[in-house]
Structure 1
Amino acid sequence: MDPKHLYERDFYAWTQQQAQFLRERAWEKLDLPHLIEEMESLGRQQRQELRNRLGVLVGHLLKWEYQPQARSVSWLLTLQVQRQEVLDLLEENPSLRPYLPEAISKSYLRALQLALEETKLPRKTFPKTCPYSPEQILDSQFYPGEPSGLLEEED
C-alpha cells in the first residue's frame, strides 16, 4: 500500500512501516512530507506537555497560597508529583528550558482557572500574572504563603 494512503487510513501501521523503511535505509520509500509533519508535531507535544504540567502545578501553588485553611495531603502530593514530572520533562528535553518562562506565562490562565474552580474564591483574589518565578515553581522547598503543618509531617 502507498505510504501516503496508509498514513490516512491506519496511522499506527504507517509509523511501523516508516520505521522499517528507516531501519532498511530505504530512503526512497519514506513518506517524507508526513514524516516531517509528525516529527514537528512531536516537538509541539513536548511543549504542550510542559504547559499542561505547569498549569496544574501553578494552579495548586495558587490554591496552597490563597486558601491555606483547605490545604491537604492531596494538594501536597500533587505539587510534589507535578514538580517532579516537570523536572523529568526538562531533563529529558533540555532544549525546553529556555521556553520555561513563556510556558509559565501561557499556562497561567489554565492555572488560574483551576484555582478559581477549586477554591471558589473571587477572581480579584489572584494576581493577573504568575506571581512565582521559574526557580520557585520548580523548587521542592517552595510553598507560598504562611507555613503549613503538612510540611512538618513530611520530614
Structure 2
Amino acid sequence: MINNLYDIDFYAWTQQQAKLLRDRQWHELDLPNLIEEIECLGKQQRQELRNRLSILIGHLLKWEYQPQKRIRSWLSTIRVQRMDLNDILQENPSLKSYLEEALHKAYQKGIELAVGETNLPNKTFPVECTYTLEEILSDSFFPGEPYSQE
C-alpha cells in the first residue's frame, strides 16, 4: 500500500511518511522512495542556485554589452537575483563549495539568455566568465559603464 500511495498520490504519501517519522514507526517507512526524495531535495537546491546564477549572469552580460538599452527592470532583476542567491547560500551554507562548478554551467546559460534577449551574436560574449564570484554576488558590482538613474 505504501509504494502504491507514492505512485497515486504523492502529497498523501509525504504526509504519511512525515507522520510515520514523527511516530517513530521506522518499520513502516517507504525507505527506497524516501531516500530518493531526500536526494532530490538536495539536487533541487543545487539547481535553484544554478538557475538564479544563470539569470543574474545573463542580466550582467546584457548590462555590460548593451549599456544604451539599460532599463530599471534589469537593475531590479540583478538585485533580486543577488538577494535570492544570498538567501539560498545562507540557508544552505554547504552549497558555497559548489559555486565554482555552478558558475561554469550558469555562465553558459547566462550567455544564452543574453543572446536571446539582446539579439547580439553569441561570439559577442567571452567564452569564459570574466566576472569573479565575488563580483557577481556583490551588490555594488555592475560591469561596464556606470548606470545613471536620471
Give TM-score scaled by structure 2 length.
Answer: 0.98
Per the alignment, residue 27 of structure 2 pairs with 28
Per the alignment, residue 71 of structure 2 pairs with 72
Per the alignment, residue 91 of structure 1 pairs with 90
Give TM-score scaled by structure 1 length.
Answer: 0.95
Per the alignment, residue 14 of structure 1 pairs with 13
Amino acid at match of 1:43: G
Amino acid at match of 1:49: E
* Structure 2 Cα separation of the partners of residues 13 and 133 of structure 1: 44
* Structure 1 Cα separation of the partners of residues 103 and 28 of structure 2: 41
Unaligned runs of 5+ in 2: none
Matched, 1:58 2:57: yes
Q: Percent identity?
A: 61
Per the alignment, residue 3 of structure 1 pairs with 2
Give, in angstroms, the shift of residue 141 of structure 1.
0.1
Per the alignment, residue 135 of structure 1 pairs with 134
Give, in angstroms, the shift of residue 149 of structure 1.
0.4
Amino acid at match of 1:54: L
Amino acid at match of 2:90: E
Q: Deviations for 1:2-59, whole angstroms, at most 9, x for unmatched residues? A: 1111101110000000000001000000000100000000000000000000010000
* Structure 2 Cα separation of the partners of residues 5 and 148 of structure 1: 57
Per the alignment, residue 104 of structure 1 pairs with 103
SS of match in other structure, 2:12: helix
Q: CA RMSD in A?
A: 0.8
SS of match in other structure, 1:149: coil
* Structure 2 Cα separation of the partners of residues 124 and 64 of structure 1: 17
Unaligned runs of 5+ in 1: none
* Structure 2 Cα separation of the partners of residues 80 and 21 of structure 1: 42
* Structure 1 Cα separation of the partners of residues 63 and 141 of structure 2: 11
Give, in angstroms, the shift of residue 117 of structure 1.
0.8
Give, in angstroms, the shift of residue 107 of structure 1.
1.1
* Structure 1 Cα separation of the partners of residues 26 and 122 of structure 2: 56
